[in-house]
């Protein structure tokens, strides 16, 4: 009986991975990242050297892990505040979008070309919020919507959106992600 179950699992696993490859090719068409950024009036900023003992990105195989990036305005000033206290959901969404732009800049620096992004895989969105605030996912939608606008279907990702009692330098939002890239 055990061998039958093992054989069944092996067959379904191999069929599943083959169908994923076919679906990925069909569902994830090529996109023009640069044109999408231009249409969104986004210019990627240059990132400063990390202020502590870490790096902006780490690549292992075909995955890139980013350090958490906080919300910063185009002039470089930090977008600060606490959701549920001094920031609205809409302001939080803008903060998440701005964090996303910084993450794109980190990817650009790592890859040299954002066309090498195969898929945004996993996102962790951290929201500086009061204990009573419960709309963390709505705030991180500002980031998720940006990734889909830039990468199309390739920008859709698994995600966690959580509240924090504080973030470094009172940042409104900090986000990190895992990205699959073409080799």
Residues 114 and 148 in one domain: yes
pLDDT at 183: 78
Mean pLDDT for the chain overall: 88
Strand, coil or helix: what is 65? strand
* Residue 105 · residue 140 · CB < 8 Å: no
pLDDT at 131: 97
How does pLDDT run across 102-144, given as a tens digit for each residue?
Answer: 999 999 999 999 999 999 999 999 999 999 999 999 999 999 9
Tell me the C-alpha distance between 88 and 79, whole Å: 13
pLDDT at 144: 98
Expressed as residue numbers, the domain containing 23 is: 1-30
* Helix (H), strand (E) at residue 121: strand 117-128
pLDDT at 120: 98
Total domains, the chain: 2
pLDDT at 155: 96
Residues 132 and 161 in one domain: yes
Q: Which residues of the chain have pLDDT under 50?
A: 1-27
Residues 94 and 66 in one domain: yes
CATH number at residue 106: 3.30.1330.40
pLDDT at 29: 65
pLDDT at 94: 98
């Amino acid at each position: 009986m055990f061998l039958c179950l093992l054989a069944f699992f092996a067959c379904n696993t191999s069929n599943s991975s083959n169908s994923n490859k076919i679906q990925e090719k069909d569902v994830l068409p090529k996109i023009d990242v640069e044109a999408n950024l231009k249409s969104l009036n986004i210019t990627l900023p240059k990132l400063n050297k990390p202020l502590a003992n870490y790096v902006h990105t780490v690549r292992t195989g075909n995955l890139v892990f980013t350090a958490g990036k906080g919300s910063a305005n185009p002039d470089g000033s930090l977008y600060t505040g606490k959701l549920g206290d001094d920031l609205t959901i809409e302001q939080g969404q803008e903060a998440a979008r701005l964090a996303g732009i910084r993450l794109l800049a980190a990817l650009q620096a790592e890859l040299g070309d954002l066309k090498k992004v195969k898929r945004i895989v996993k996102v962790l969105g951290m929201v500086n919020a009061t204990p009573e605030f419960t709309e963390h996912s709505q705030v991180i939608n500002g980031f998720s919507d940006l990734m889909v606008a830039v990468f199309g279907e390739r920008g859709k990702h698994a995600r966690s959106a959580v509240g924090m009692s504080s973030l470094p330098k009172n940042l409104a939002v900090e986000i990190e992600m895992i990205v699959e890239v073409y080799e």
